[in-house]
Structure formats: C-alpha cells, structure tokens
Amino acid sequence: MITFVEGGFGLHISNCEIGEDNLGSLRAAAHFVANRQPYAVG
C-alpha cells in the first residue's frame, strides 16, 4: 500500500503517518491521499 501511494501519487509517507488512521482501509487511504494533494485550479 505504501509503495503504491508513494509511487502512484508522488507522495512521501513518513513513519509517523503509517497507521490505521491513514492507511487502515481503502477509505482512509483515499482520504489521506486527497488531503495531501494540492488543490486543482481551473
């Protein structure tokens, strides 16, 4: 999961971000990635 998120979305996940709250389910992972992405303009 971590490799997929880092490679697929260009994010770096620190050790303190690895856990049930951020990556414990697909819903949590989607929310985590969405909150880390810059906002689209236009």
User: Is the full-model pTM beyond 0.75?
Assistant: yes
| Residues near 32 by beta carbon (within 8 Å), at least 6 away in sequence | 5, 17, 22, 23
Q: Give the pLDDT of residue 38.
A: 76
Distances in Å between the alpha carbon of 35 and those of 11, 18, 41?
11, 15, 15
Enter the tokens of residue 24.
């414990």
pLDDT in tens, the chain (42 residues): 899 999 998 899 999 999 999 999 999 999 999 998 877 565
Enter the tokens of residue 2.
């971590």
Q: Give the pLDDT of residue 41.
A: 62
Domain boundary assignment for the chain:
2-36
First-last CA distance in the chain: 30
Q: Give the pLDDT of residue 42.
A: 58
